[in-house]
Homo-oligomer: A and B are copies of this chain.
Amino acid sequence: MYQAVSQSFFGVDVGGTTVKLGLFDQDGHLLEKWEIPTDTGDRGSHILPDIAASVKTRITGTGEVAGVGIGVPGPVDQAGTVFRAVNLGWGVFNISEALGELLGGIPVFAGNDANVAALGEMWQGGGAGYRNIVLVTLGTGVGGGIIRDGKILTGARGAAGEIGHTYVRDGETEVCNCGKKGCLEQYTSATGIARLARRKLTGTGRPSSLLNQNISAKAVFDAVKEKDELAMEVAAEFGEILGKALAATANVVNPEAFVIGGGVSKAGNILFDYIVPYYNETVFHACRDVAFELAILGNDAGIYGAAKLALDNRAAEYGKLGS
- For the complex, give the distance between the alpha carbons of A112 and B224 in Å: 43
Give the residues in chain B near A161, CB-CB below 8 Å: 251-252, 254
Residue in B83, B245, B252 whose CB lies within 8 Å of A163: B252
Residue A155 lies at the interface, judged by CB distance under 8 Å to chain B: yes
Give the residues in chain B near A256, CB-CB below 8 Å: 156
Residue A236 lies at the interface, judged by CB distance under 8 Å to chain B: no
> Provided the pairs A153-B148, A156-B255, A249-B252 are in contact, do residues A162 and B132 lie with their beta carbons within 8 angstroms?
no
| CB-CB contacts below 8 Å: A209-254 with B | 244-245, 247-249, 251-254
Nearest-neighbour CB distance to chain B for A278, whole angstroms, equals 9
- For the complex, give the distance between the alpha carbons of A83 and B247 in Å: 20
> Provided the pairs A282-B180, A286-B83 are in contact, do residues A254 and B167 lie with their beta carbons within 8 angstroms?
no
Give the residues in chain B near A248, CB-CB below 8 Å: 163, 166-167, 245, 248
Residue A297 lies at the interface, judged by CB distance under 8 Å to chain B: no
Could you tell me the dominant secondary structure of chain A's interface residues?
loop
Residue in B148, B180, B245 whose CB lies within 8 Å of A155: B148
Residue A20 lies at the interface, judged by CB distance under 8 Å to chain B: no
A165 x B252 contact (CB < 8 A): no
Give the residues in chain B near A286, CB-CB below 8 Å: 75, 83, 157-159, 162
Give the residues in chain B near A178, CB-CB below 8 Å: 284-285
Residue A289 lies at the interface, judged by CB distance under 8 Å to chain B: yes
Give the residues in chain B near A284, CB-CB below 8 Å: 159, 162, 165-166, 178
| CB-CB contacts below 8 Å: A135-156 with B | 144, 146, 148-149, 153-156
Residue A30 lies at the interface, judged by CB distance under 8 Å to chain B: no
- For the complex, give the distance between the alpha carbons of A80 and B153 in Å: 22
- For the complex, give the distance between the alpha carbons of A43 and B251 in Å: 27
A285 x B160 contact (CB < 8 A): no
B254 x A166 contact (CB < 8 A): no
Residue in B75, B247, B249, B254 whose CB lies within 8 Å of A159: B254
Give the residues in chain B near A158, CB-CB below 8 Å: 254, 286
**Between-chain CB contacts (< 8 Å), 18 pairs:** A83-B286, A132-B155, A132-B156, A146-B252, A154-B254, A155-B253, A155-B254, A155-B255, A155-B287, A156-B254, A157-B254, A158-B254, A159-B284, A161-B254, A162-B254, A162-B286, A165-B251, A165-B284
